[in-house]
């Protein structure tokens, strides 16, 4: 990440702090033989992929900040590889004071008596779940200094993270473009009799060969009736002739996640019924996208989607009354997109320029072994919107044309 990106974010964050406020961010932990994925809030603030590190800032007269990283132990480095040096951490983050983790407790002890409030990446684990790792680490401080208020840093970071910089949009655009290329690969290579996970492999191959090593989220490749299960993730069924396949997928680039849904008929052409349902969802999706501009509320997109889908469901002969639409469409039409696939921003938000949201209406009819969802990623601009995934085909004729060219 560019150093000035994360440095600018810290400046904006510092400006919002009051005297006695502290920020504490814990990096994700490195686990043995598991792929490392950095904590998004830690990455956003420091720009560093360093595992197990801790970021600390405190506002007194001025803001002071310290970073604590793992110390490289030669015997361990044989197993785990070289650790980041303090100099590398300084250069990549722009944080001047970089120490080793064994100095963390002493430093926190020194500041603790004057801290009034801590913003930390404590997350929101359910009450019947174990404490998050940051909560666990802050537990001794909480016991010793019960007057310190510990708050989820999301309240501070949400307004920042939901307005994307040009650099962030360029990362999202790349994640979206590569996801799109992988979807086209699937259109071209998919055959009756393949397993759903084989289609997943085609996209994964495209992503990794393009320099994007990670999924943004677990891919959904759902054929036939599986498409009516909203979060189907097994991807282990064999694809039968005549089925419509729903793919809800996204590559991640610098932790920025694409989130695209496309559907296609494995046999090359949509059946009349598939075509009717697909066209209905597509009409709704386009109508909702056209509403997007600064000042529009996310909940207005949601209520309009319900209304439009109810209308379409009546015409498809599925329902008689508007309220019955919940049987065939039961999820949100839109969420913020960014480092988290369901990014910070909230459901009550009012759109502003620089937001990136998804638009993803659907109709799910288990009785007909059919589910259709169409999802694009949309940037809110000063004057309206820009569909970042506009190059990924979604018109019926376009898709059938591509499928016709298969060998």
Q: State the residues that interact with Mn ion by CB under 5 A.
A: 259, 358
Closer to Mn ion by Cβ: residue 24 or 378: 378
Helical pair 166-189 and 396-404, crossing angle rounded to 10 deg: 50
| Cα gap 109→64, rounded to integer Å | 15
| Cα gap 393→276, rounded to integer Å | 18
Phi, psi of 103, rounded to the nearest 5 degrees: -100, 0
Check: CB of residue 95 under 8 Å from CB of residue 65: yes
Q: How far is the CB of 394 from Mn ion (least distance, A)?
A: 15
What does the buried/exposed string (b/e) look like for 93-132 if buried means 16 or more CB atoms within 10 Å of the residue's CB?
bbbeebbeeeebeebbeeeeeebebbbbbbbeeeeeeeeb
| Cα gap 255→118, rounded to integer Å | 25
Q: Which of 181, 42, 22, 29 is nearest to 110 (CA)?
A: 22
| Cα gap 299→307, rounded to integer Å | 12
| Cα gap 380→393, rounded to integer Å | 21
Both tokens assigned to 394: 């979604």
| Cα gap 365→352, rounded to integer Å | 35
Q: Which of 407, 393, 289 is nearest to 351 (CA)?
A: 289
- Sign of the torsion formed by the C-alpha atoms of 77, 82, 85 and 89: negative
Question: What is the gyration radius of the CA atoms in the chain, in angstroms?
Answer: 24
| Cα gap 3→238, rounded to integer Å | 47
| Cα gap 386→377, rounded to integer Å | 9
| Cα gap 344→334, rounded to integer Å | 13
Check: CB of residue 271 under 8 Å from CB of residue 370: no
Which burial class, exposed, middle or buried, applies to 163 when counting CB atoms under 10 A from its CB (0-12, 13-18, 19+)? middle
DSSP, collapsed to helix, strand or coil, labels residue 187 as helix
Q: Beta-carbon neighbour count of residue 286 at 10 Å?
A: 15
DSSP state of 325: G
The bridge status of strand 98-100 relative to strand 63-69 is parallel
């Amino acid at each position: 990440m560019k150093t000035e990106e994360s440095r600018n974010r810290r400046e904006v964050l510092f400006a919002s702090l009051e005297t006695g406020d502290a920020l504490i961010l814990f990096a994700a932990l490195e686990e043995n033989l598991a792929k490392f994925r950095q904590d998004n809030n830690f990455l956003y603030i420091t720009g560093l992929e360093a595992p197990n590190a801790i970021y600390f800032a405190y506002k007194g007269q001025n803001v002071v900040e310290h970073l604590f990283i793992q110390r490289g132990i030669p015997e361990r480095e044989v197993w785990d590889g070289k650790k980041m040096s303090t100099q590398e951490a300084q250069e990549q983050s722009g944080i001047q004071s970089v120490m080793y983790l064994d100095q963390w407790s002493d430093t926190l002890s020194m500041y603790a008596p004057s801290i009034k409030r801590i913003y930390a990446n404590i997350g929101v684990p359910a009450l019947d779940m174990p404490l998050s790792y940051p909560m666990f680490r802050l537990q001794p401080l909480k016991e010793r200094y019960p007057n310190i208020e510990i708050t989820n840093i999301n309240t501070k970071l949400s307004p920042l993270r939901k307005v994307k910089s040009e650099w962030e949009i360029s990362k999202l655009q790349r994640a979206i473009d590569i996801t799109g290329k992988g979807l086209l690969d699937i259109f071209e290579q998919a055959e009756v009799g393949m397993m759903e996970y084989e289609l997943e492999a085609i996209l994964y191959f495209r992503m990794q060969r393009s320099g994007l090593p990670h999924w943004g989220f677990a891919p959904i490749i759902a054929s036939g009736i599986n498409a009516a299960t909203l979060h189907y993730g097994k991807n282990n069924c064999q694809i039968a002739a005549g089925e419509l396949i729903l793919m809800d997928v996204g590559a991640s680039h610098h932790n920025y996640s694409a989130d695209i849904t496309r559907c296609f008929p494995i046999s090359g052409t949509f059946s009349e019924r598939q075509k009717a349902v697909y066209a209905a969802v597509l009409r709704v999706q386009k109508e909702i996208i056209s509403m997007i501009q600064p000042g529009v509320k996310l909940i207005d997109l949601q209520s309009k989607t319900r209304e439009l889908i109810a209308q379409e469901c009546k015409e498809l002969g599925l329902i008689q009354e508007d309220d019955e639409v919940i049987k065939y469409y039961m999820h949100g039409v839109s969420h913020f997109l960014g480092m988290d696939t369901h990014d910070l921003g909230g459901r009550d938000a009012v759109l502003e320029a620089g937001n990136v949201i998804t638009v993803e209406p659907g109709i799910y009819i288990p009785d007909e072994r059919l589910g259709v969802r169409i999802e694009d990623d949309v940037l809110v601009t000063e004057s309206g919107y820009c569909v970042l995934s506009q190059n990924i085909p979604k018109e019926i004729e376009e898709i059938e044309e591509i499928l016709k060219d298969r060998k």
